Amino acid sequence: MGSSFRFLFALFCAVPALSLPASPYEVKESVHPPHGWVQHSAPSPSHGIELRIGLPQPNFGVLETHLYEVSDPDHHRYGQHLSKEEVEELIAPHPDSLDAVNDWLASHGIQEEDVTRSPGKDWVTLKLPVELVEKMLDTKYHVWKHTKTGDYIVRTTSYSLPIHLHEHVDVIQPTTMFGQFKPFRSTISKVEAAPATPAANSLGSLVNPATGLTIDASCNVTITVSCLQQLYNAVGFTPSAKGNSIGITGYLEEFANFADLQQFFAQQVPAAENSSFKVVSVNNGLNNQSDPGFEANLDVQFAFGISHPITPTFFTTGGSPPFIPDDDTPTDTNEPYLNWLDFILSQENIPLSISTSYGDDEQTVPEAFAKRVCADFAQLGARGTSVIFSSGDNGVGDGDSNPATQTCFTNNGRNETKFIPVFPATCPFVTSVGATDNVAPEVAVSSFFSGGGFSNYFSRPPYQDVVVPNYLKTELAPGTFEGLFNPEGRGFPDISAQGDRFEIIVGGQAFLIGGTSASSPTVNGFISLLNDVRLKSGWPALGFLNPFIYKKGFAGFTDILSGHNSGCGTPGFNVTKGWDPVTGFGTPNFGKLKELILEVTGA
Ligand SMILES: *[C@@H]1O[C@H](CO)[C@@H](O)[C@H](O)[C@H]1NC(C)=O
Ligand SMILES: *[C@@H]1O[C@H](CO)[C@@H](O)[C@H](O)[C@H]1NC(C)=O
Ligand SMILES: *[C@@H]1O[C@H](CO)[C@@H](O)[C@H](O)[C@H]1NC(C)=O
Ligand SMILES: *[C@@H]1O[C@H](CO)[C@@H](O)[C@H](O)[C@H]1NC(C)=O
Ligand SMILES: *[C@@H]1O[C@H](CO)[C@@H](O)[C@H](O)[C@H]1NC(C)=O
């Protein structure tokens, strides 16, 4: 427990009532606990909560306008990304909000030195005993237990604020946030036989009818970096621009292992042998080299294997379960990606493309919180970073591994069945990536189901205004899945990439692993190669990708024409010609995209 926490607790006990809030309390947010969470016990009064207060960003609309202009390939400002300072100015809260929140905190004995603020001052973070938080938010916390996973968290289903504060606060968490950030790896199997790589050509070759490209036949069984280079038309390309960079985020004590990467490089990317990556620790994230993680190794081996020698960084972010109910340490606080966002947005230099293979059912993340986190991703895009997320591995369904028995119950207390979209993949400011398998041709992945569908929180972004209504009108029979999804919502994924039977090294041994967890670092690698092409020609990096992809870039993706994404007891959506909510526009063709991105030159 931190010393500021002890200090505040002592203060709270000694000085129980300073000036009281000026207005009565009213409920700010109220939720139904998501399926699977049951009340367990009362937390210890001294249980530490790392409280985050999100203040409104009155000029976010201006930031959004800038973001769309600098990302629109037809706009003269294309590529003219904003500086850190410009972004911070645009997301700054109104001084009245800062004052109102400060007064309220002071009325509970909390001073400026007790809080930390995000660079834009739009988030206030402070460590407090739950007893004080309950008083400040006029609520009661409980320890909740998940019936399936056995995880514990300390949450409430409702919290209140003095009426005058409502307009000065967007969100306060952890309160109603039950979501858990989970890695999207679906299938792992150990490779018992010798690795496939040395025998890559022994099975002969295949021609992908969709692209005309020739691919080792072994790639239909095992995916290697070489397979992806062949399949996505990047054979022989070596990046050489200065100033390029690529990042992978890791959470939940998933550590990327240096020795495994060397072994992987020796087998799959000999030219990268002896090269390594930088590890950046966020929120005391560890880097335990005795504990290699499947997710972290998959992401690092493939993203950095594809993009070598572009400068690679792995972010290890601390703050994760398991949480022990009687412990006073604040370990189960917010989603760790907020810690990462705080950190990354405070940096002058941010990797130009970053992928994350984690997420959760959108409905487990309260809407106000999801919107604030999504707005943070918009900041990254405005600064010129491509933000890439996996679309999830449960098709249109929920986390129940058997698509036939998924209840897909809504979280509104009525147990209605609805398709379950995945966050952050549904955030309109990220590029979300679904999964394919087979190589000649590629199809929507069938060993699990590519996450896809429509957001219930985020309305359709302008860049989808042609494609998505067209899909709904011409590809879905009238009335199909009516009431099961929000046809006005942001459709996802945007694109896709191979997502199964990736050969990786973990703890010195070869494994095959699958999931949209594999697809997003793959896309990250190829986007990084495209950034190389842009930088070498003297143009800025690609930044927020979607406006480009939906307007021009789609021509550089190979449309996937077969498959569907089962879930909730339905076969899910079908893959169709053009964009669909299973594989988006399809998989990248680097050779074609290389040409397209050089036609987009802005002013
Ligand atoms: C690729 O593998 C799948 C099974 O995983 C098989 O159905 C398909 O026929 C194979 N494709 C080719 C071209 O061999
Ligand atoms: C990597 O280092 C080893 C040991 O120093 C050396 O034998 C090998 O040639 C190096 N490989 C490359 C690709 O530089
Ligand atoms: C590192 O991981 C190993 C293996 O899981 C574990 O035994 C060890 O305690 C960990 N070390 C630290 C510092 O967490
Ligand atoms: C919803 O389902 C859960 C678990 O099956 C059950 O406990 C609860 O009573 C149901 N609620 C309603 C309103 O049907
Ligand atoms: C998907 O395709 C199958 C076979 O053509 C068809 O029966 C089904 O209605 C389609 N589903 C949707 C959601 O369009």
- Average pLDDT taken over every residue of the chain: 90
Of the pLDDT bands very low, low, confident and very high (cuts 50, 70, 90), residue 406 is confident
Residue nearest to atom 1 of ligand 5 (CA): 574
What homologous superfamily is domain 183-597 in, according to CATH? Peptidase S8/S53 domain (3.40.50.200)
Sign of CA dihedral 6, 11, 16, 20: negative
**Ligand 5 centroid, distance to 396 Cα (angstroms):** 14
Residue nearest to atom 5 of ligand 1 (CA): 438
**Ligand 4 centroid, distance to 256 Cα (angstroms):** 41
Pocket perturbation via mutation, ligand 2, pick of 238, 273, 275, 276 by most ligand atoms within 8 A of CB: 273
CA atoms of 79 and 76, how far apart (whole Å): 9
- Give the ligand 5 atom nearest the CA of 481: 13
Q: Which ligand is nearest to the CA of 407?
A: 4
pLDDT tens, residue by residue, 254-296: 999 999 999 999 999 999 999 999 999 998 899 999 999 999 9
Tell me phi and psi for residue 300, to 5 degrees. -70, -45
Residue 140 has pLDDT above 80, yes or no: yes
Q: Which of 50, 295, 500, 532 is catalytic?
A: 295
More confident of the two residues 140 and 12: 140
Pocket perturbation via mutation, ligand 4, pick of 37, 415, 417 by most ligand atoms within 8 A of CB: 415
CA atoms of 74 and 72, how far apart (whole Å): 5
Q: Which residues of 484-522 are buried (b: 16+ CB within 10 A; e: fewer)?
A: bbbeebbbbbbbbbbbbbbbbbbeeebbbbbbbbbbbbb
Model pLDDT, residue 8: 42
**Ligand 1 centroid, distance to 503 Cα (angstroms):** 17
pLDDT tens, residue by residue, 199-232: 556 679 999 999 999 999 999 999 999 999 999 9
Arithmetic mean of pLDDT, 582-594: 98
Of the pLDDT bands very low, low, confident and very high (cuts 50, 70, 90), residue 601 is confident
Model pLDDT, residue 133: 97
Residue nearest to atom 6 of ligand 2 (CA): 274
pLDDT tens, residue by residue, 491-522: 999 999 999 999 999 999 999 999 999 999 99
Note if the bond before 441 is cis, omega within 30 degrees.
Answer: yes
Of the pLDDT bands very low, low, confident and very high (cuts 50, 70, 90), residue 414 is confident
Pocket of ligand 2 (CB under 6 A): 273-274
Pocket of ligand 4 (CB under 6 A): 413-415
Model pLDDT, residue 488: 98
Q: Is the CB of residue 101 less than 8 Å from the CB of residue 124? A: yes
As a whole-number percent, the residues of the chain with pLDDT over 70 amount to 90
Q: Which of 218, 355, 496, 517 is catalytic?
A: 517
Residue 573: CB within 6 Å of ligand 5? yes
Arithmetic mean of pLDDT, 177-195: 74
Pocket perturbation via mutation, ligand 3, pick of 252, 253, 287, 288 by most ligand atoms within 8 A of CB: 288
* Six token digits for residue 64: 């959004």
Model pLDDT, residue 15: 42
Model pLDDT, residue 6: 39
Residue 327 has pLDDT above 60, yes or no: no
Nearest to 109 by CA among 190, 198, 9, 36: 9
Residue 10 has pLDDT above 60, yes or no: no
Q: Is the CB of residue 490 less than 8 Å from the CB of residue 455? A: yes
pLDDT tens, residue by residue, 23-80: 899 999 999 988 889 999 999 999 889 899 999 999 999 999 999 999 999 999 999 9
Arithmetic mean of pLDDT, 110-130: 94
Residue 17 has pLDDT above 60, yes or no: no
CA atoms of 481 and 484, how far apart (whole Å): 5
Model pLDDT, residue 403: 61
**Ligand 4 centroid, distance to 415 Cα (angstroms):** 6
Residue 206: CB within 6 Å of ligand 1? yes
Residue nearest to atom 10 of ligand 3 (CA): 288
Instruction: Give CATH 3.40.50.200 domain extents, the chain.
Output: 183-597
Q: Is the CB of residue 62 less than 8 Å from the CB of residue 201? A: no
CA atoms of 554 and 556, how far apart (whole Å): 5
Of the pLDDT bands very low, low, confident and very high (cuts 50, 70, 90), residue 418 is very high
Q: Which ligand is nearest to the CA of 276?
A: 2
**Ligand 2 centroid, distance to 258 Cα (angstroms):** 15
Q: Which of 126-140, 154-168, 357-371 has the lowest mean pLDDT?
A: 357-371
Give catalytic status of residue 437 as yes or no. no
Give catalytic status of residue 299 as yes or no. yes
* Six token digits for residue 411: 């979280």
Residue 9 has pLDDT above 90, yes or no: no
Model pLDDT, residue 464: 98
Model pLDDT, residue 193: 54
Model pLDDT, residue 18: 45
